[in-house]
C-alpha cells in the first residue's frame, strides 16, 4: 500500500462518522488509535471460524487457532527486531509488561539500598510498579529531571548512576509532551554500571521503526491498542537469558511443565509467563496491525507524521495565548502537541472542541510529575497518526478560534 492519507483514512470505519453534526476529527491517538478493517476482519475471522483454545487441543479448530496465535507472535517479534519469537511474551499491554518485569525480575534482584532510576517524564505505568517494588524491597527511587522544553537533562546522568543502580526505566517517547528520548545512549550508560534498561515503548514502536537489538536494551514493553491493534493486547520483549532466569509472574494452566503435590516445573519460554487462557483474538489482532503498518511502511508513516507535526506546531503556535509544551526541535518531538490556551481550562478546551467534532485529550495524561514540573494541573493534547491530515489540523485551529471567542 502506497502512502495515501485519503485511502488510509478510509480503512478506519470509526473515522467516517459525524460527531455533534460535524465530520469527526480524531486527534487522540496517543490515548488509543483507531482500528483498520484489516484488524477487525482478522479478529472476526478467528471468532467466526477458528474459535478454540490454543496449545491444548488436537482438533482442527485448536490447531488453526494455535497457528494464528503463534504466527502473530512471530510478526510482532520480527517487527521490533527480536532475535527469537520466544523472547516475546504476550501481555495485556505496556502496563502489564512493566508490572511483570518489576515483580518477576525485581523482587528477586532488587534489595534494600539498591536504586531504581526513572525520569520525570514517565507515565504513571512506569512509576507505580517501581514504587511498589521499592516499598517491598527498601530500594530507593531516583529521577532524571527535564529542562524547560521537556527534554531529559542527561548531563545529570553520571551523578545519578552508580553501582547501586539496578534498573533504569525510561519511556521511549513521552505521552504527555511527545519528547523522543535517546534510549540507546541511556541504555549504554546504564550497562556501564551494571544496571538493566527497561523501556516503556507504548508511544515508541507506534511512530518509528524499533530494533531492540540496535537500541541495546534489556526489556521493551508495547501496547497493541496504540498501534491500530485491539485494546487489552500487548507484549514484553526481554533478553532470553534474563527471561529464563526469572520466576513466573503468575501461576496456572499453560505455564507449567509438570505439577506435583508440593513442587512444579515451568514450561519453556515464552509460555512460562503466559498463565491461563490468553487474549487469543487480541494477539491475532495485534499481528494483523503489524501487517497493516508494515505494508504502509514505518518510514513513510514517520515522514507523514513529521510533516503533520511541523504544520501543527506552526499553525497552533501562531494562535494568540497558546503555550506549547515539549521540544522545539522536530527531531526530538513525536506526533503530539501539548498546549494551554490563556486562562481556558484544558477540560473546557476539549469540551468546546468536541462540540466542533474535534476529539483531543485534556488532563494530566497520567503524567502528573510532568505537570508539576511546569506548575500546571493539565494540558490539552492533540496527537496525530497515519490517518490524520493537514485538514484535521485546520479544523483543530478553527475550533481553538471558537475557544478564544468564548474566553476572550
* CA nearest neighbour of 215 among 244, 239, 179: 239
14: pLDDT strictly greater than 60: yes
Average pLDDT along the chain: 97
* Bridging pattern class, strands 115-119 and 88-91: unpaired
Sorted by where each begins, the domain ranges of the chain are: 5-30+298-402, 41-294
Q: How many CB atoms lie within 10 A of CB 47?
A: 11
What per-residue confidence (pLDDT) applies to 2? 61
**pLDDT tens figures, 208-258:** 999 999 999 999 999 999 999 999 999 999 999 999 999 999 999 888 999
Neighbouring residues of 347: CB distance < 8 A, sequence distance ≥ 6: 362, 363, 378
pLDDT at 333: 97
How far does CA 351 lie from the centroid of its chain?
26
Per-residue pLDDT band at 272 (split at 50, 70, 90): very high
Pair 179, 121: CB distance under 8 Å: yes
Burial of 331: CB neighbours in 10 Å, binned 0-12, 13-18, 19+: exposed
CA–CA dist 102, 190 (Å, integer): 17
Inform me whether the pLDDT recorded for 1 exceeds 60.
no
Percent of the chain with pLDDT over 70: 100
For residue 397, CA distances in Å to 313, 337, 354, 364, 401 come to 11, 12, 13, 22, 6
Cell for 264? 512444579
- Residues 321, 367: Cα–Cα separation, whole Å: 23
Per-residue pLDDT for 324 more than 70? yes
> What angle is formed at CA 386 by the lines to CA 152 and CA 69, rounded to 5 degrees?
90
Q: 256 or 362: which carries more pLDDT confidence?
A: 362
Query: What pLDDT does 3 receive?
Result: 76
CB 75 within 8 A of CB 69: no
Contact 255, 271 (CB under 8 A): yes
What gap in Å lies between CA 397 and CA 404, rounded to an integer?
Answer: 10
pLDDT of residue 88: 98
CB atoms under 10 Å from CB of 74, counted, come to: 16
**Looking at domain 5-30+298-402, which CATH architecture does it have?**
Alpha-Beta Complex (3.90)
Q: Which of 157, 366, 371, 376 is catalytic?
A: 366
pLDDT of residue 341: 98
Does residue 408 register a pLDDT over 90?
Answer: no
The pLDDT assigned to 5 comes to: 85
Q: How many other C-beta atoms are found inside a 10 Å radius of the C-beta of residue 218?
A: 23
Q: Kind of pairing, strands 264-266 and 256-259?
A: antiparallel
- What are 155-210's pLDDT values in tens digits? 999 999 999 999 999 999 999 999 999 999 999 999 999 999 999 999 999 999 99
228 belongs to the catalytic site: no
The fold of the 41-294 domain, in CATH, is: 3.40.640
Task: Tell me how far apart the 2 most distant CA atoms of the chain are, in Å.
Answer: 73
User: Would the pLDDT of 374 be above 80?
Assistant: yes
Of the candidates 408, 403, 338, 406, the one whose C-alpha atom is nearest the C-alpha of residue 376 is 338
Residue 34 has pLDDT above 90, yes or no: yes
What is the model's pLDDT at position 332?
97
Q: Answer yes or no: is pLDDT of 151 > 70.
A: yes
Query: Is the pLDDT confidence value at 404 over 70?
Result: yes
Query: Do the domains at 5-30+298-402 and 41-294 have one common CATH topology?
Result: no
Q: How many CB atoms are closer than 10 A to CB 108? A: 11
Amino acid at each position: 500500500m502506497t502512502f495515501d492519507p485519503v485511502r488510509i483514512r478510509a480503512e478506519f470505519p470509526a473515522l467516517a462518522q459525524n460527531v455533534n453534526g460535524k465530520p469527526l476529527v480524531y486527534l487522540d491517538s496517543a490515548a488509543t488509535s483507531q482500528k483498520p478493517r484489516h484488524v477487525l476482519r482478522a479478529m472476526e475471522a478467528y471468532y467466526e471460524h477458528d474459535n478454540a483454545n490454543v496449545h491444548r487441543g488436537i482438533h482442527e479448530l485448536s490447531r488453526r487457532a494455535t497457528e494464528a496465535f503463534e504466527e502473530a507472535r512471530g510478526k510482532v517479534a520480527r517487527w521490533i527486531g527480536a532475535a527469537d519469537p520466544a523472547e516475546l511474551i504476550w501481555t495485556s499491554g505496556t502496563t502489564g509488561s512493566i508490572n511483570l518485569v518489576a515483580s518477576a525480575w525485581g523482587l528477586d534482584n532488587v534489595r534494600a539500598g539498591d536504586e531504581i532510576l526513572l525520569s520525570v517524564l514517565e507515565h504513571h505505568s512506569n512509576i507505580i510498579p517501581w514504587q511498589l517494588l521499592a516499598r517491598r524491597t527498601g530500594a530507593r527511587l531516583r529521577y532524571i529531571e527535564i529542562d524547560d522544553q521537556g527534554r531529559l537533562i542527561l548531563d545529570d546522568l553520571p551523578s545519578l548512576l552508580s553501582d547501586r543502580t539496578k534498573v533504569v526505566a525510561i519511556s521511549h517517547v513521552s505521552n504527555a509532551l511527545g519528547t523522543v528520548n535517546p534510549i540507546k545512549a541511556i541504555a549504554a550508560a546504564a550497562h556501564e554500571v551494571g544496571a538493566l534498561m527497561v523501556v516503556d515503548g507504548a508511544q515508541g514502536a507506534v511512530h518509528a521503526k524499533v530494533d531492540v537489538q540496535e537500541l541495546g536494551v534489556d526489556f521493551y514493553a508495547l501496547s497493541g491498542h496504540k498501534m491500530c491493534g485491539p485494546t487489552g493486547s500487548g507484549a514484553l520483549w526481554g533478553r532470553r537469558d534474563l527471561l529464563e532466569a526469572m520466576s513466573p509472574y503468575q501461576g496456572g494452566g499453560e505455564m507449567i511443565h509438570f505439577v506435583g503435590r508440593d513442587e512444579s516445573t515451568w514450561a519453556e519460554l515464552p509460555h512460562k509467563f503466559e498463565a491461563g487462557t490468553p487474549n487469543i483474538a487480541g494477539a491475532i489482532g495485534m499481528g494483523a496491525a503489524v501487517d497493516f503498518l508494515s505494508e504502509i511502511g514505518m518510514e513513510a508513516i514517520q515522514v507523514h507524521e513529521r510533516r503533520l507535526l511541523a504544520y501543527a506546531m506552526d499553525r497552533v503556535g501562531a494562535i494568540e495565548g497558546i503555550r506549547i509544551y515539549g521540544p522545539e526541535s522536530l527531531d526530538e518531538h513525536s506526533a503530539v502537541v501539548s498546549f494551554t490556551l490563556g486562562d481556558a481550562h484544558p477540560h473546557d478546551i476539549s469540551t468546546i472542541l468536541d462540540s466542533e467534532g474535534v476529539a483531543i485529550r485534556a488532563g494530566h495524561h497520567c503524567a502528573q510529575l510532568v505537570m508539576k514540573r511546569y506548575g500546571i494541573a493539565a494540558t490539552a493534547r492533540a496527537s496525530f497518526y497515519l490517518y490524520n491530515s493537514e485538514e484535521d489540523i485546520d479544523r483543530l485551529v478553527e475550533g481553538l478560534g471558537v475557544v478564544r471567542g468564548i474566553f476572550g
